[in-house]
C-alpha cells in the first residue's frame, strides 16, 4: 500500500468507533448532524439512480471508501446487491457488524478487488480528498473498470468554494491532510478515464431535509456555492 494511503487507513482505523461523533463536532456550528448529511446524500443517490435506470432494485452497487457503512442501512433496500470496500481494516470490520447483508472487502487503495464490469453503480462519498492527488487518475480509471457498460458512477465531494465547508473541513481531525477538488477538476478526471455524459451539480445550498426541499436545492444546482457537489458519469 502507498505510504500515504497506509497512513489514511491507520487514521480511520482509530476513528472506527467515533467517526460520527467527530463529524458532529466539526459541523456543530451548522446545527446539523452527521446523520442528517448521511440521509441527504442517500436520498440524492436514490433519486439519481432511479433517474438513470428503470429498475434500481435489480442493480448491483459498490461503495468505494465505505468506512463504517453509515449509508448502507439506507441504501441496501435500493439494490439487489450492495458491496463496500475500504483501506481501513477496522472500519470494514465495524461495517460488517452493522450491515450483515453487505459484502465488504479491504483493499490497497489502488486496485479494486473486483473483476472488470462487475457493478451497475459505483459511488464514493467524500473519499477522493483523502486519496493522494498522484492517484486521482487511477482512482477514476478503477471506477470505470469495474462498471458494466452503461453503468453509473457517482462522486460526492466537499465544495472548496464554500466557506462553511472549509470551516467544517478545517475542524475535522481526519481531514487534516485532505486535498479538496473543485467540481471541474473531478469532471476532468472522469472524462480522462473514459466516462461519458460527465456532469456535476451542487447540493446543500439549503438543508434539503425532504423531497420538497431537495427540489428547491436543485434550483441552485448550477450555482457553485453549495456545501458539496456530485459528479455523475456513465461508463
Q: What percent of the chain has pLDDT over 90?
A: 68
DSSP strands (E only) in 51-182: 60-64, 81-86, 103-106, 119-125, 147-158
Q: Which residues of 165-175 are buried (b: 16+ CB within 10 A; e: fewer)?
A: beebbeebebb
Q: Answer with the residue of higher pLDDT: 180 or 6.
A: 180
User: What is the rounded average pLDDT for all residues in the chain?
Assistant: 90
Helix spans in the chain (H): 3-14, 19-26, 34-52, 72-75, 89-98, 136-146, 163-171, 183-192, 211-219
Annotation: CATH topology of 3-234: Rossmann fold (3.40.50)
How do the domains of the chain map onto residue ranges? 3-234
Q: Is the pLDDT of residue 16 over 70?
A: no
3-state secondary structure of 192: helix
Q: How confident is the model at residue 11 (pLDDT cuts 50, 70, 90)?
A: low
Q: Whole-angstrom Cα distance, residue 167 to residue 137?
A: 27
Beta strands at 103-106 and 81-86: parallel, antiparallel or unpaired = parallel
3-state secondary structure of 66: coil
Model pLDDT, residue 6: 66
Is the separation of the CB atoms in 133 and 164 below 8 Å? no
Q: How confident is the model at residue 212 (pLDDT cuts 50, 70, 90)?
A: confident
Model pLDDT, residue 211: 80
Query: How much is the pTM?
Result: 0.92
Q: Whole-angstrom Cα distance, residue 56 to residue 150?
A: 14
What are the pLDDT digits (tens) for 130-164? 999 999 999 999 999 999 999 999 999 999 999 98
Q: Residue 198 is inside which H or E element, if any?
A: strand 196-203
Q: Taking residues 121-129, what's their average pLDDT?
A: 97
Q: Is the pLDDT of residue 167 over 70?
A: yes
Amino acid at each position: 500500500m502507498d505510504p500515504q494511503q497506509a497512513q489514511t487507513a491507520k487514521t480511520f482505523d482509530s476513528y472506527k468507533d467515533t467517526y460520527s461523533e467527530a463529524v458532529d463536532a466539526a459541523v456543530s456550528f451548522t446545527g446539523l448532524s452527521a446523520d442528517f448529511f448521511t440521509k441527504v446524500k442517500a436520498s440524492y443517490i436514490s433519486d439519481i439512480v432511479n433517474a438513470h435506470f428503470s429498475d434500481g432494485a435489480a442493480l448491483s452497487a459498490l461503495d468505494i471508501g465505505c468506512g463504517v457503512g453509515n449509508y448502507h442501512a439506507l441504501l441496501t433496500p435500493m439494490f439487489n446487491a450492495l458491496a463496500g470496500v475500504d483501506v481501513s481494516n477496522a472500519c470494514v470490520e465495524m461495517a460488517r457488524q452493522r450491515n450483515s447483508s453487505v459484502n465488504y472487502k479491504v483493499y490497497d487503495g489502488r486496485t479494486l478487488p473486483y473483476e472488470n464490469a462487475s457493478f451497475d453503480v459505483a459511488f464514493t462519498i467524500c473519499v477522493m480528498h483523502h486519496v493522494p492527488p498522484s492517484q486521482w487518475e487511477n482512482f477514476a480509471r478503477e471506477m470505470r473498470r469495474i462498471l458494466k457498460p452503461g453503468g453509473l458512477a457517482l462522486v460526492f465531494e466537499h465544495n472548496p468554494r464554500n466557506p462553511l465547508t472549509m470551516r467544517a473541513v478545517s475542524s475535522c481531525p481526519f481531514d487534516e491532510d485532505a486535498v479538496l477538488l473543485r467540481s471541474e477538476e473531478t469532471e476532468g478526471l472522469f472524462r480522462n478515464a473514459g466516462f461519458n455524459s460527465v456532469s456535476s451539480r451542487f447540493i446543500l445550498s439549503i438543508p434539503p431535509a425532504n423531497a420538497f426541499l431537495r427540489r428547491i436545492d436543485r434550483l441552485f444546482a448550477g450555482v457553485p456555492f453549495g456545501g458539496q457537489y456530485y459528479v455523475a458519469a456513465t461508463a
